[in-house]
Amino acid sequence: MTAEEYRREPPTDDPVQAFVPGHVTGFFSVHPHGDPRRAGSRGAGLALTEGVMVELHRADETAVVLDGEKAEIDAVTRTLDRLGVEARVAIKTPLPVSAGFGVSGGAALGTALAANALFGLTHTENELIGTAHAAEVEADTGLGDVVAQARGGVPLRLEPGAPEQGKLDGISVSNTRVEYVSFGDRPTGEIIGGNVKKLSQAGERALSQLLEKPTLPRFMALSRRFAREADLLTPQVETAIEAVRDVEGEAAMAMLGETVFALGSGLSDAGYEPTVCEIHPAGARLS
């Protein structure tokens, strides 16, 4: 790019790409609110190097394509609606959908960042994160992935909601290998729309205990206890977690999906054939 080109303000006619890390939540509590920017979750999770790539093209009418197939992702169309634009959205991800990796939240956040550049909307990052968060909450597909994916690392969601209201912290970690296996999907809305009192109590307890000593092994242990206390374990998930424990590894269940994630080579050591990635140290960004 020449110096002169930097003087142009957006918009642009070229397609714009954004990358958003995946995110697995280990435990959480639900915090509903009439204003979707104030609704959300508290909890903790891991941002992953495997994530969601979003490419936005100018188009007369909004259309969403996921890994080459036409798709309906409510959080994405709601994000474009909130921004007042129409676009063709091409989403690519190696992550399984509806399995607890934040694909819908990542698609919404990537769409917000890319739309801002494509159309020269001049929103700040907090505003774009808030827009995607609100769209995701209204779509009933997530409560905390967007703000965590915007941050990266090991996000602690101390207070729920978009950046204006929410509050984040993080556990400081070095490069950390993460493995995962997924046994099937589980729609988020079914759980977070139901009776979540026991779940939220368990989530609040886990967060306050993690903050007493915020380390990665403790996050994993508290996540395991949360899945049990919230009655979310399925037989396959429980078996995989136990198998990793048997080889002295750290594993937990991804909320909300039938997915187990482990630190290091936990799942490989236990005889599974997991996908391998790392904790992603950075948040979502234009590429």
Footprint of its own copies on this chain (CB under 8 A)?
A: 1-10, 16, 113, 116-117, 122-126, 128, 152-153, 156, 163, 169-177, 211, 213-218, 244, 247-250, 262-266, 269, 281-283, 285-287
CA 220 from centre of chain = 17
Instruction: State which residue, 192 or 253, has the beta carbon closest to its own copies.
Output: 253
Distances (CA, A) of 121 to 108, 113, 125: 16, 10, 11
Instruction: State which residue, 71 or 221, has the beta carbon closest to its own copies.
Output: 221
CA 123 from centre of chain = 21
- Minimum distance, C-beta of residue 122 to its own copies, in the bound complex (Å): 5
Strands (DSSP E) found in 32-176? 40-58, 63-66, 69-70, 87-92, 155-159, 167-170
Instruction: State which residue, 5 or 60, has the beta carbon closest to its own copies.
Output: 5
- Minimum distance, C-beta of residue 285 to its own copies, in the bound complex (Å): 5
- Minimum distance, C-beta of residue 141 to its own copies, in the bound complex (Å): 23
- Minimum distance, C-beta of residue 11 to its own copies, in the bound complex (Å): 11
- Minimum distance, C-beta of residue 208 to its own copies, in the bound complex (Å): 13
Q: How many CB atoms lie within 10 A of CB 231?
A: 9
Instruction: State which residue, 95 or 118, has the beta carbon closest to its own copies.
Output: 118
Phi and psi torsions of 27, nearest 5°: -155, 155
Instruction: State which residue, 208 or 287, has the beta carbon closest to its own copies.
Output: 287
Q: Token pair 């994630």 is at which residue?
A: 261
Find all residues with CB under 8 Å of 28, minimum gap 6, and list them.
41, 42, 43, 44, 143, 144, 157, 199, 203, 255
- Minimum distance, C-beta of residue 96 to its own copies, in the bound complex (Å): 22
Nearest alpha-carbon partner for 253 in 277, 229, 273, 281? 229
| Strand, helix or coil for residue 281 | coil
In contact, 65 and 132? CB cutoff 8 Å: no
Q: Which residues of 23-34 are buried (b: 16+ CB within 10 A; e: fewer)?
A: bbbbbbbbbeee
The rounded distance, in Å, linking the Cα atoms of 153 and 50 is: 13
Instruction: State which residue, 30 or 44, has the beta carbon closest to its own copies.
Output: 44
- Minimum distance, C-beta of residue 90 to its own copies, in the bound complex (Å): 17
- Minimum distance, C-beta of residue 148 to its own copies, in the bound complex (Å): 13
Instruction: State which residue, 138 or 269, has the beta carbon closest to its own copies.
Output: 269
Nearest alpha-carbon partner for 141 in 99, 200, 195? 99
Instruction: State which residue, 174 or 195, has the beta carbon closest to its own copies.
Output: 174
The rounded distance, in Å, linking the Cα atoms of 52 and 14 is: 20
